A and B are shown apart, each in its own frame.
Chain A
Amino acid sequence: MIKEQKVIDKNNPVISIRGLQKAFGSLHILRGVDLDVYRGENLVVLGRSGTGKSVLIKIISGLLLPDQGIVNVLGKEVAELRNKELMDLRLKVGFSFQNSALYDSMTVRENLEFPLVRNSRNLKRSQINDEVESVLDAVGLLQTIEQMPSELSGGQRKRIGIARTLILRPEIMLYDEPTAGLDPITCIEINNLINEVQEKYKTTAIIITHDLTCAKETGDRIAMLLDGQFAIQGTFDEVFASQDARVQSFYNYNFTK
C-alpha cells in the first residue's frame, strides 16, 4: 500500500511534550524529552529496547506519572488531571499494547463490547452488535467474533487489540511495538492496517517500534530516541541521512542483518 502525502497542520499539535523526565530508581530513562505531534500525522518513535519508548506513551496515556516536565494531550496537562478528567481523556486516546492485552476470559465479541458498554451505557443491543461488527470488519476479522483470544494467532490478536481500541473512536492512537514478534507477511498486514485506520478514522498516531520497515511504511515523521532524548526528527530519509554514528548503526543493523 502506497502512502499518500498528507497535509499536516503544524500549528496545531495534539500532543505537546516539554522537558519530560522519568527515572526508575537510579535508572534515568527519559532525560528532558521535547516533542510535538500534529493532528492527522503518524509519528514513529524509533529507538533501541530499553530506551523508554513504551514509557513515553504510557506517560501520554496517564498510566505512568512523569517526574518532571509537561505532557499536554488534546489541550490538557495529563499529570494535573483528576480521575474523572483522565477517564474522559482516555476515551479519546487509544492504546494498542505490545502483547495485545486481550481479556483472556472473554470472547472476541466480549472483548470489544467491554469498553463500549462501560462507556456508553445507554446503547441498545443492536447498536452494540453493529459497532462490534463494524470495527471487526475494519480489521478484517469478522469471522473470529465468537472465538477466545487463545484460539487466535499473534497477528489476529494484534488486530483484535487494535479493533478494541478503535471501538471508542479515539482521536489519537498509541501503538506499542505493533509488529513485534510477527512474521514478515503479517508485519506488512499490520503496517497496512495502521495506515488504513489513519485514513478511515482520521486518527493521529504515535507508533513505537524498532522495526525500520514498519517505520518506513507507516511513519509520516520519525523521531529517534537516543540516550533519553529525541536526538533527530524528520522524514525517514532525513533521519537516516544523518551522520550520527548511533543512527547509522541502528540503520545498518536493521537492514544488513
Chain B
Amino acid sequence: MDPNTDNSNIEPTKYFLSKKMDGMFIEVYEIYKFILRFFKEVFLPPYEFKEIIHQCYEVGYKSLPLISLTGFITGVVFTDQSRPSLANFGATSWIPSLISIAIVRALAPLVTALIAAGKVGSNMGAELGSMKVTEQIDAMEVSATNPFKYLVVTRILATTFMIPLLVMYTAFVALMGGYLSVHSHEQTSFAMFFSQVFESLSFLDLFSTSFKSTVFGFTIGVVGCYCGYNSTKGTEGVGKAANSAVVAAMFLIFVEEIVIVAIVNAFR
C-alpha cells in the first residue's frame, strides 16, 4: 500500500448522511484524488516509455480483430437498416451522407469505446486487482519502483492515445462495410461513395469525434485502473474490480456522449 493512499484510518464510526451516501461521496473524492495524482505524476520523470509502448500495443493492436469485426458489421447493418426508410422517399442516394454522419459523429466513437470498456477496461481492472490482492503492487513499491507511475500512468496514457486511433480505424472499417452494402444494391462507385461521405462531414465533426474519443479513452483508463488499483477482499475483489470497471466506464461513456453532443451542437 502506498502511504499516499493509506486510508486505513478514515473509516468513520459515525456517518454524516447514511453509510451508502457517505461512501459515495468518499468514493468520488478518492477518484478525484486518483485523477489529480495521475496529472501530477505524468509530467514527473522517470518516463516509462517502454511500458507505454507495451500498453499501447496491448490496448490498440490486440483490440484490432474485435474492433474490425464490430465496425464492419455496424457499417453493413446500419446501411441495410436505413435503406428501406430512405427508399420510401426515393432518397437512397443520400445513404452515403447519412451513414458517414452517423458513423463518424456517433457510431464509431460509441461502438469503439464500449468494446474497449468491455475488453480493455475489464482486463485492467482484473490485472491490477489481482496484482493488488497478491501484494505484487506492494512488492513493486518496496523495490523502489513507483507502481502508480509504472502501472497506472502508462495504462491511462495508452488508452488516451489509442482509443482515438481505434475510433478512426473503426470509422474507416464501418464506412467500408457501408460502401459494400451500398455498392451491392445501388452499384455506386467507390469514388462517388467516398466523395459523398467527405462532403457531408465538417471540421467540427472530425474535431468533436477526436475530442470525444480522447475523453472516452481517458475514462476507460482511469476507471479500469482505479477499480483494479483499489480492489480489496481477495479473489472476490478482483471479480468486482473487473465488473465495476466495465459497468462504470460504460455508464460514464454514455453520460459524456450526451454532454459533448450538447456542447458541440451549441457550436453547430
Chain A interfacial positions (CB closer than 8 Å to B): 23-26, 58, 61-65, 67, 79, 83, 86-88, 90-91, 93-95, 97-99, 101-104, 114-115, 118-119, 121, 164-165, 168
Residues of A within 8 A of B145 (CB): 114-115, 118-119
Residues of B within 8 A of A61 (CB): 142
Residues of B within 8 A of A87 (CB): 144, 146
Q: Is the CB of A25 within 8 A of B144?
A: no
Given A101-B134, A104-B136; A64-B8 close (CB under 8 Å): yes
**Residue among A94, A102, A118 with max Cβ neighbours from chain B (10 Å):** A118
The 4 A-B pairs of least Cβ separation, nearest first, read: A115-B143, A101-B139, A101-B135, A95-B142
CB nearest neighbor in B for A88: B144
Shortest CB-to-CB span from B213 to chain A, Å, is 28
Residues of chain B in range 140-154 having any CB-CB distance to chain A below 8 Å? 140-146
Chain B interfacial positions (CB closer than 8 Å to A): 1-3, 6, 8-9, 11, 13, 46, 130-131, 134-136, 138-146
Shortest CB-to-CB span from B102 to chain A, Å, is 40
A168 to B9, CA, bound (A): 32
Q: Is the CB of B144 within 8 A of A118?
A: yes
CB nearest neighbor in A for B11: A25
CB nearest neighbor in A for B8: A24
Q: Is the CB of A25 within 8 A of B9?
A: yes
CB nearest neighbor in B for A95: B142
Given A101-B134, A104-B134; A65-B144 close (CB under 8 Å): no
Shortest CB-to-CB span from B150 to chain A, Å, is 8
Residues of A within 8 A of B2 (CB): 63
- Please name 13 pairs of A and B residues whose Cβ atoms are closer than 8 Å in the assembled complex, sorted by A: A24-B8, A24-B9, A61-B142, A63-B3, A79-B3, A93-B142, A97-B135, A101-B136, A101-B139, A102-B136, A118-B145, A119-B144, A168-B144
Q: Is the CB of B6 within 8 A of A65?
A: yes
Q: Is the CB of B139 within 8 A of A95?
A: yes
Residues of A within 8 A of B140 (CB): 103, 114
Residues of A within 8 A of B141 (CB): 63, 90
Residues of A within 8 A of B3 (CB): 62-65, 79, 86
Given A99-B134, A104-B136; A115-B144 close (CB under 8 Å): yes
What's the A-B contact tally at a CB cutoff of 8 Å?
80
A83 to B141, CA, bound (A): 11
CB nearest neighbor in B for A118: B145
Interface of B is mostly: loop
Q: Is the CB of A164 within 8 A of B143?
A: yes
CB nearest neighbor in B for A94: B142
**Residue among B130, B135, B144 with max Cβ neighbours from chain A (10 Å):** B144
A23 to B8, CA, bound (A): 8
Given A115-B143, A118-B144; A67-B9 close (CB under 8 Å): yes
A94 to B135, CA, bound (A): 15
Shortest CB-to-CB span from A96 to chain B, Å, is 9
Shortest CB-to-CB span from B1 to chain A, Å, is 5
Q: Is the CB of B9 within 8 A of A90?
A: no
Q: Is the CB of A64 within 8 A of B1?
A: yes
Given A63-B3, A67-B9; A90-B143 close (CB under 8 Å): yes
Residues of B within 8 A of A90 (CB): 141-144
Beyond known contacts A25-B9, A101-B139, A168-B144: 6 more, CB 8 A cutoff: A64-B8, A65-B6, A79-B3, A102-B139, A164-B143, A165-B143
A24 to B7, CA, bound (A): 9
A94 to B146, CA, bound (A): 16
CB nearest neighbor in A for B145: A118
Residues of A within 8 A of B46 (CB): 121
Shortest CB-to-CB span from B23 to chain A, Å, is 14
Shortest CB-to-CB span from B22 to chain A, Å, is 14
CB nearest neighbor in A for B143: A115
Q: Is the CB of B6 within 8 A of A64?
A: yes
Shortest CB-to-CB span from B123 to chain A, Å, is 12
Shortest CB-to-CB span from B136 to chain A, Å, is 5
A101 to B142, CA, bound (A): 11
Residues of A within 8 A of B134 (CB): 99, 101, 104
A94 to B143, CA, bound (A): 7
A165 to B142, CA, bound (A): 9
Q: Is the CB of A23 within 8 A of B9?
A: yes
Residues of B within 8 A of A103 (CB): 131, 136, 139-140
A94 to B141, CA, bound (A): 11
A164 to B1, CA, bound (A): 19
A99 to B132, CA, bound (A): 12
**Residue among B11, B138, B143 with max Cβ neighbours from chain A (10 Å):** B143
Q: Is the CB of A118 within 8 A of B11?
A: no
